[in-house]
Amino acid sequence: MRAPTRSARRVVVLAAVASLGAGLLAGCADDGKDEDNTSSGSGGGKTKITLGLFGSFGFEEAGLYKEYEKLHPDIDIDQTVIERNENYYPPLVNHLTTNSGLQDIQGIEVGNIAEVVNNYSDKFLDLSKYGKESDYLPWKWQQGTAKSGSTIGLGTDVGPMAICYRKDLFEAAGLPTDREEVGKLWTGDWAKLVEAGKDYKAKAPKGTTFMDSPGGLFNAIIGSENERFYDSSGKVIYKTNPAVKKAFDLTAEAAEDGLVGNQTQFQPAWETTISNSKFAAMACPPWMLGYIESKSKPESAGKWDVAAPPKAANWGGSFLAVPKSGKNAKEAAKLAAWLTAPEQQAKLFSKRGSFPTAQAAYDLPLVKDAKNKMTGDAPIGQIYAPLAAELPVQVVGPKDQIIQQGLTDNGVILVTQGKSPKEAWENAVKTIDNNLEK
């Protein structure tokens, strides 16, 4: 009786190996097929739409998913969020090139939109049939549109930048505190802002600096330029563009004079400087107010205010795009269009401070009458709306992020660490050129 037992055992083992192998292979396979994609499928007959996002878009926090699910009972929304775009974007590129692992809706940062539009427009659905072009700021709509005319990204928000400042610290340093007067200190010229910083420093409360970080200041100055790192023909010009050098030198000057803190934005230590009230002013789009609030101690509420920047400048703003390969691409496109429609953008602004990219939203009460606790109920909707209208139409290049990070994190930051502006510039250029070279 040995032989049959043996072969029976062998069958069992082989079956086990085979099923294990199949399991492994299935695990590796494109997961596009393991779920029923019709609405009559599993999950209580619901269509599941997934979003892949970075940072805090805040759709969920603002209750928009719940609202949409209520409007469309057959839809189920699920999101995965990666905190930093640096960690979000490379895998997204990977998924796009391999056409797998994509969510139904993908968020795209403005710094990457050019690269995505240039390289991958054929992988995305044309959303121009879903969103209404006239609702949006024209230049924002253009940024998400490929040469072929296909609009692959609908703008979620723009970043009209203002200068947020601490009224208590300004007062202690003998500067005006009224937002009109503060804005007048530096109207029209970033150099005047740095001058105001020198006035601040002369009588500043001990241990504080005028602005938070060299990176933040540089970002603000360069954000008011139309052409920054690329010219409109797509050539890299950051080294020769006088606007870039001017912004760099002005920031380096401020850093040499100790007007900016020795910090890199969004690092834990920088966040601590917010909660410890270590600086008096910073460049801030509306979303930054929410950020300040989340990092501040409760007693800081009401001590901030918002003044006009020297020049209108843009910081941030993202897009939603719908990959064609998605199971529910059409449903996803409807959701993306709904999330970026003026009414929803207004809600998002009132809850999360993301400033609408849909100009049609600016007249809605949720924007017009918006107030903000950190700024002592300043009418932020009315402050930011005119700034948004003046935003420069920026040339966005594919490697903008790499260049900007090089100039700040491998550049101006060094001046706060005792290097000369010249050394800092050279270090930045060396790093950027090495990073750009193929």
Contact segment (CB under 8 A) with another protein among 15-23, 136-144, 226-234, 367-375 equals 15-23
CB 38 within 8 A of CB 67: no
User: Per-residue x/- marks for another protein, 157-196, CB under 8 A?
Assistant: ----------------------------------------
Check binding of 34 to another protein (CB under 8 A): no
Report, in Å, the least distance between residue 375 CB and another protein: 26
Smallest Cα–Cα separation from 222: which of 242, 193, 249, 244? 244
The β-bridge relationship of strands 304-307 and 162-166 is: antiparallel
- CB 356 → another protein: shortest distance, Å? 28
Residue 26 makes contact with another protein by CB under 8 A: no
Cβ neighbours, 10 Å, residue 76:
16
Q: Are strands 318-321 and 153-155 parallel, antiparallel or unpaired?
A: antiparallel
Binding flag, residue 2, another protein (CB under 8 A): yes
In three-state form (DSSP H/G/I as H, E/B as E, the rest C), the secondary structure along the chain is CHHHHHHHHHHHHHHHHHHHHHHHHHHHCCCCCCCCCCCCCCCCCCEEEEEEEECCCCCCCCCHHHHHHHHCCCEEEEEEEECCHHHHHHHHHHHHHHCCCCCCEEEEEHHHHHHHHHHHHHHECCHHHCCCHHHECHHHHHHCECCCCCECEEECEECECEEEEEHHHHHHCCCCCCHHHHHHHCCCCHHHHHHHHHHHHHCCCCCCEEECCHHHHHHHHHCCCCCCCECCCCCECCCCCHHHHHHHHHHHHHHHCCCECCCCCCCHHHHHHHHCCCEEEEEECHHHHHHHHHHCCHHHCCCEEEECCCCCCECCCEEEECECCCCCHHHHHHHHHHHCCHHHHHHHHHHHCCEECEHHHCCCHHHHCCCECCCCCECHHHHHHHHHHCCCCCCCCCCHHHHHHHHHHHHHHHHCCCCCHHHHHHHHHHHHHHHHCC
Among 1, 3, 71, 202, binds another protein (CB under 8 A): 3
Is 410 among the residues that bind another protein (CB under 8 A)? yes
Cβ neighbours around 286 below 10 Å, total: 30
Closest approach, Cβ 147 to another protein, in A, equals 17
Assess 414 for contact with another protein (CB under 8 A).
yes
Question: d(Cα 284, Cα 93) in Å, to the nearest integer?
Answer: 29
Stretch that binds another protein, among 17-25, 45-53, 163-171, 313-321 (CB under 8 A): 17-25
Looking up tokens 């360069």 gives 222
Q: Which is nearer to another protein, 22 or 393 (CB)?
A: 22
Q: Note whether 1 binds another protein by CB under 8 A.
A: no
Binding mask 254-293 for another protein (x = CB under 8 A): --------x-xxxxxx--xx--x-----------------
CB of 385 to another protein, least distance (A): 32
Report, in Å, the least distance between residue 348 CB and another protein.
Answer: 26
Q: Is 19 in the site for another protein (CB under 8 A)?
A: no
Q: Which is nearer to another protein, 98 or 226 (CB)?
A: 98
Pairing of strands 279-284, 162-166: antiparallel
Q: Is 94 in the site for another protein (CB under 8 A)?
A: yes
Asked whether position 14 contacts another protein by CB under 8 A, the answer is yes
280 vs 391 by CB, closer to another protein: 280
Count the residues in the chain: 438
* Among the residue ranges 225-233, 289-297, 308-316, 407-415, the one whose residues contact another protein (CB under 8 A): 407-415
With contacts defined by CB under 8 A, name the span among 37-45, 86-94, 142-150, 367-375 that binds another protein.
86-94
**x/- track of binding to another protein for residues 107-146 (CB under 8 A):** --------x---x---------------------------
- Under rule CB under 8 A, residue 206 binds another protein: no
Residue 151: CB minimum distance to another protein, A: 21
Binders of another protein: how many residues, by CB under 8 A? 41
Closer residue to another protein (CB): 115 or 225: 115
Shortest distance, position 345 Cβ to another protein, whole Å: 29
Does 55 contact another protein by CB under 8 A? no
Rank residues 214 and 353 by Cβ distance to another protein and give the closer one: 214
Residues of the shown chain interacting with another protein in the complex, contacts defined by CB under 8 A:
2-3, 10, 13-14, 17, 20-21, 24, 86, 90, 93-94, 97, 115, 119, 262, 264-269, 272-273, 276, 402, 405, 409-410, 413-414, 417, 427, 430-431, 434-438
